[in-house]
Structure formats: structure tokens, C-alpha cells
Amino acid sequence: MVTGMVDIDPDRLRAAFDDYSAIGATDDDGLHRLTLSADDQRVRDEFVSDLEDLGVSVRVDPVGNVFGRREGTDADAAPVLVGSHLDSQPYGGRYDGQLGVLAALETLRALDDHDVETTRPVEIVDWTNEEGSRFKPALMGSGVYAGAHDLDTVLETTDDQGTTVAEALEEIGYRGDEPVGPTERPDSYLELHVEQGPFLEEHGNAVGVVDGILGMAWLEVTITGDSDHAGPTPMHTRSDALVAAADVVTAVRRLSTRLGDDVVTTVGELSVEPDSINVIPSEVTFTVDLRSYDDATVDEGVAAVEAELAAACEREGVDYSLEKIWQIPHTEFSPGVRDAVEDAASEADRSFERMVGGAGHDASYVNDVTDAGMVFVPSVDGKTHNEAEFTEWEDVVAGVEVFANATRRLAERDE
């Protein structure tokens, strides 16, 4: 049962945020802390030291996920798992991931401050390689934990220098020997994260209560035309791969107006061959990223992209191939976890809204093995994955307060 709010300590939270942000700090107030790097080792060491100061027992699994367990009063109760990730994008921001781990750490500290004993254990976690910048795929640690990725395959994955995940884990001393995955199914999982979009700021709300994560498909398209000389080749005999690709880029941009409001479509990568100023492009390769909360709409979008591609290539007299390189259904988080967050936000008198997340998160994988949920805090201008990523400190405090009290509520809930 829940009795009264747990107060967090904003000054202590700020001090921790500044300490952690100094590890891998960039000149422009960002964070460059690639997974399993020397800076990742330093921040993990600080994290483990902070956990040991709290007297929680620390364990590390074979993919480097770090867990710390604060016991509850019921020895048989399944734990509440809370956390996020400490790795960053290349020259990324200080809020993405790190803030979720520090919210969980402050929660444990606040529980200690007030001598709160929870029924369930509360476990904190730092997931390895959420970002996927150095080693692919992203969400590596939580994916292995949830059984979505094969451990041995992941350990053999290499970065651009040919270093394997296994070697990098050994190098920084975080190749643990605890069992992989949930040896006991957690009761629930909660993660705080920056929204990475503009809605909370636009609507003036402090906290986002996350219903789920958009489903998505990634496409790779290659268009093949003829590389003729830009001078003597008249317009009517050309088969220009880039002209056809430009049509598709425009069509992809417009798709959301046909498919629905929550659909987002992006061409993020595009390259041209032979890429010479006076040669008509013979080959263009590009990607399409297509997301919606409705999985059928994602399928409809994929079909629409292929139809637009076929029409553009027919017009230009060029060929194409289309490959769906990845697709995941939407994630629907647990109503029980969502209720705990809403109740905590109401009790704390923080304005909140229900929303869906557009980016992938560790919580999506963890949702496969237990009831998961997320708390979003506002991102100024929706900026993320770069050094300009910023959240107003008062929004951080509000979010962590809601997170801590939602965690406490989960730690008291019945089986």
C-alpha cells in the first residue's frame, strides 16, 4: 500500500547529473560516450560505486547489463525493474538515456532518505548499447535480456575497427557471468526518458504517460538507370536514377497526409553513383523509415511506397529493387504501469498527457517479458541525438518526482 509521497532531492539529482555528464563531455555541452568505450567504463564504475554506497547488491550479465537490487520486505515478491542506458550517440546529448538511469538512482536514494521499505524489491538497470552507434543493432542489452537477440551472435558483432562486443566487454571489465535474461520474471519495468519530440513542450505538460511505441518498417531501395554524359545526352533519352529517386522522396514525404496523423515517414540515407558532376546518375540507393502506432497502417505505407516507386521508375524508364530490411510491430505498454504513473502524476499535481513514443526504447523489449511502461519529460524544440538536446531542469525534477512515486506504487502493488 502507498502512503504519502516520497520526496526526491533536486540538488542531489543535479549534482549526480553534472558528475555523470562530465564523463565523456563535449566542448558544446553534449556527451560523446559510445558504448563499451573507456568513458563508458568510467561512468559504469561511478554507477557501480554509487550503488554500492547505497548497499544494494550489484550483478553484471554476459552482455554487460548492470543490475543493482534493493531488497523488499517480501522475500518472494517479484521485483520492480527501473532504469535506462548510460551510452550516448556520437556527440549526442546529456539527457537521452542517462537521465533515466539517474532518475532510477535518485529513486533508490529517496527511498533510503525516508527509510521507505517497499514490499517488492526494486532493481535498477543500465542496459548495454541502447544507441547502436558503435555496435549494431541498437537496444542490444535489453534485446539479449528479452531473448530477442542471441547472446553468442551479439558477442561476435564487430565495430568499424573489427573489435568484437566480447573483446570490448573484456577490455572495460564488464563481461559478467550472471545468467542471461530474467531468472525471475520482474513484476514490472519503468523507464524515464526524454520525449525526443515536441508535443509536451507544445502542450505545456510536464510529463508524458506513454501508451506505447510506434511500429515501424525500414526499407532499402535501389534505382538503376544509365550513366550517360550530362552534355551530349539529350533529355529525352535519359534514364536518370536520381530523378526517379527525387519523385519517391517527395512521395514519401506526402504519404503521412494520406495514411494518417500519427504516421511519420523519412528518407534518411541516400547515395548516388557515380556521383560525378557531369554524369547522369546510374544508381541511387536510399532508405525509407515508416512508423505508425497502427501496424496495418505501416503495411499500407510499405505498399504505398512500392507503388510510388514503381510509378516513378516507370515514368523515368529505370529499374528498381525494394527490400524490407526490418519491421517491428507497435509496442503497447501495460495499463497497470500506466495507471501507476498517472496516479503518481495526479498526486504530485504535475500536468501530464498520454502519448505514444516514436523512437525505439529498451522498454519495448522488456515489455516482451513483463509489464513495462515509460515516463517522458519534455525535450526543448524536440531536439535529440545531438549536443543541443535540452530539458528544462524544472521539467526534469517534475518527471523524476513522478517516476520515483510511480516506482514506489509499483513496488507496493499486488501480484
Distance CA 3, CA 175 (A): 40
Rounded to the nearest 5°, which phi and psi values hold at 116? Answer: -80, 125
222 touches its own copies (CB under 8 A) = no
Q: How far is the CB of 183 from its own copies (least distance, A)?
A: 32
**Helix, strand, coil tally for the chain in percent (to 5):** 35, 20, 40
367 touches its own copies (CB under 8 A) = no
25 touches its own copies (CB under 8 A) = no
Q: How far is the CB of 363 from its own copies (least distance, A)?
A: 14
336 touches its own copies (CB under 8 A) = no
Question: Under rule CB under 8 A, which residues in 42-61 are in contact with its own copies?
Answer: none
327 touches its own copies (CB under 8 A) = no
Among 9, 228, 294, 392, binds its own copies (CB under 8 A): 228
Among 256, 295, 343, 392, binds its own copies (CB under 8 A): 256
DSSP letters spanning 390-409: ---HHHHHHHHHHHHHHHHH
Q: How far is the CB of 38 from its own copies (least distance, A)?
A: 24
Q: Which residues are paired to 279 by β-bridges?
A: 229
247 touches its own copies (CB under 8 A) = yes
Count of CB atoms situated within 10 Å of the CB of 414: 7
DSSP state of 237: G
Among 57, 153, 237, 321, binds its own copies (CB under 8 A): 237
Nearer to its own copies, 106 or 159 (CB): 159
Q: Which amino acid is at 28?
A: D
Q: How far is the CB of 215 from its own copies (least distance, A)?
A: 11
233 touches its own copies (CB under 8 A) = yes
Nearer to its own copies, 81 or 241 (CB): 241
Single out the segment in contact with its own copies by CB under 8 A; choices: 14-22, 225-233, 332-340, 367-375. 225-233
Nearer to its own copies, 218 or 327 (CB): 218
Q: Which residue's entry shows cell 524489491?
A: 121
Distance CA 355, CA 377 (A): 11
Question: Under rule CB under 8 A, which residues in 341-360 are in contact with its own copies?
Answer: 357-360
136 touches its own copies (CB under 8 A) = no
231 touches its own copies (CB under 8 A) = yes
What are the angstrom distances between the C-alpha of 268 and each of 34, 287, 312, 382? Answer: 22, 6, 19, 18
287 touches its own copies (CB under 8 A) = yes
Contact 308, 242 (CB under 8 A): no
266 touches its own copies (CB under 8 A) = yes
Among 216, 302, 344, 369, binds its own copies (CB under 8 A): 216
Distance CA 21, CA 33 (A): 10
Rounded to the nearest 5°, which phi and psi values hold at 272? Answer: -120, 135
Which three cell numbers mark 157? Answer: 558483432
Single out the segment in contact with its own copies by CB under 8 A; choices: 20-28, 65-73, 284-292, 332-340. 284-292
Distance CA 292, CA 299 (A): 10
Contact 344, 190 (CB under 8 A): no
384 touches its own copies (CB under 8 A) = yes
260 touches its own copies (CB under 8 A) = no
Distance CA 411, CA 82 (A): 11
Nearer to its own copies, 162 or 232 (CB): 232
Distance CA 69, CA 115 (A): 16
Q: Which residues contact 227 (CB under 8 A, 6 or more apart)?
A: 273, 274, 279, 280, 281, 282, 283
Q: How far is the CB of 378 from its own copies (least distance, A)?
A: 12
Among 114, 185, 229, 258, binds its own copies (CB under 8 A): 229
Residues lying near its own copies in the complex (CB under 8 A) = 195-199, 214, 216, 218, 227-235, 237, 240, 242-243, 245-247, 249-250, 253, 256, 264-272, 275-281, 287, 289, 291, 357-360, 382-386
